[in-house]
Amino acid sequence: MNRKILKNILLGAWFIFLFYVLFIPNKVHREGMVDQEQLSNKIFGEYDSYNFKIVFTKEITLSSTAKVKKVDLSQNTMANKIDLLKDSGWSYGNGAKDDQVILCNGKKNMMMIVFPRKINYKDGRKRELDDLKYWIINYVYAYKGVEYC
């Protein structure tokens, strides 16, 4: 092969490589991530007081919160919803504290369901007075795994 053609091919490949490294951001595929909003809408979307909000989003982490008023969702109904989640592949996680249930879907997805009953807890956690009216559901996806799963 002609040296000039080979040199041009290598030079072109080098420029393509540089362009890719410098101008195309390194995206991490959120492998195994549960669609938090879709799941939350499926479970709690029927309640008028339901509210979903994405709290934190990065390439390797996503966190969101949902709230449902306690008057709309009884503890028995929530227990039934937890059973349905367990039937669909979720399992209990580690580290649940007072008024919490931690569910995991694999190592990367966590759902913490909180039924706050007081403002101050022994371990230093604090809730707002308004939080006592709601179920609080926190969703977390972490590419490298969630601590409690």
Tell me the pLDDT tens digit for each residue of 83-101: 999 999 999 999 888 789 9
Contact partners, residue 115, CB within 8 Å, separation at least 6: 70, 75, 78, 99, 100, 135
pLDDT value of residue 26: 46
21 part of a folded domain: no
Query: Residue 24 domain-assigned?
Result: no
User: Could you tell me which residue, 12 or 106, shows the higher pLDDT?
Assistant: 106
Nearest to 48 by CA among 67, 23, 27, 22: 67
Q: What is the mean pLDDT of residues 33-57?
A: 94
Percent of the chain exceeding pLDDT 70 equals 80
Domain count, the chain: 1
Q: What is the pLDDT of residue 10?
A: 55
Residue 20 lies in a domain: no
Locate all alpha helices (DSSP H) within the chain, ordered by sequence.
3-23, 36-44, 75-87
94: in domain: yes
Would residue 13 count as lying in a domain?
Answer: no
Q: Looking at the domain assignment, is residue 7 inside a domain? A: no
Q: Is residue 149 part of a domain?
A: no
Per-residue confidence (pLDDT) for residue 64, from 0 to 100: 96
More confident residue, 54 or 16: 54
d(CA 129, CA 78): 22
Q: Which residues pair with 92 in a beta bridge?
A: 103
Domain membership of residue 111 (yes or no) is: yes
Q: Which domain holds residue 73?
A: 36-142
pLDDT-based confidence at 62, cuts 50/70/90?
very high
Rounded Cα distance between 43 and 82, Å, is: 10
Query: pTM of this prediction?
Result: 0.75
Closest CA to 113 of 130, 90, 142, 88: 90
Residues near 138 by Cβ (< 8 Å), separated by ≥ 6?
63, 64, 65, 110, 111, 112, 114
Give the model confidence (pLDDT) of 4-35 as tens digits.
765 666 555 555 554 454 555 444 456 788 99
| Arithmetic mean of pLDDT, 43-70 | 93
